[in-house]
Amino acid sequence: MVQEAGTHSILDIFRVVGPDDASDYNTVRPVTAEEARKLLGTDKLTHAHVFKDFECLPRSRWIGRCAVLHDDEGNPQEIHFWGHSGD
């Protein structure tokens, strides 16, 4: 059943799509610097943005999102994944 319906988790993601690629099932789309600046006012997202601000970022079922999160000095520290896989 898992082979047909998936696991409804990050395990269902097959590839990362670029900013000019079409989103499809089982893909993850990174937040672009332009999108972050337009919606959140910065291109250096931090862990503080995750729970406070990420609701404004576009999302779709079966398509994940990810964002590089930076420390207080602006250095990349982690990648945060979120989205809806399944019902």
pLDDT in tens, 60-72: 767 888 999 999 9
Give the mean pLDDT of the chain: 83
How many structural domains are present in the chain? Answer: 1
The CA–CA distances, whole Å, from 32 to 5, 11, 37, 55 equal 30, 23, 9, 16
> For residues 54 and 41, what is the distance between their CA atoms, to the nearest angstrom?
12
Query: Is 79 a residue whose pLDDT tops 90?
Result: yes
Range of the domain at 8: 2-83
pLDDT of residue 76: 96
CA 41-27-32 angle, 5° bins: 20
For residue 44, name the pLDDT band (cuts at 50, 70, 90). very high
Query: Is 86 a residue whose pLDDT tops 90?
Result: no
DSSP tag of 73: T
pLDDT of residue 22: 84
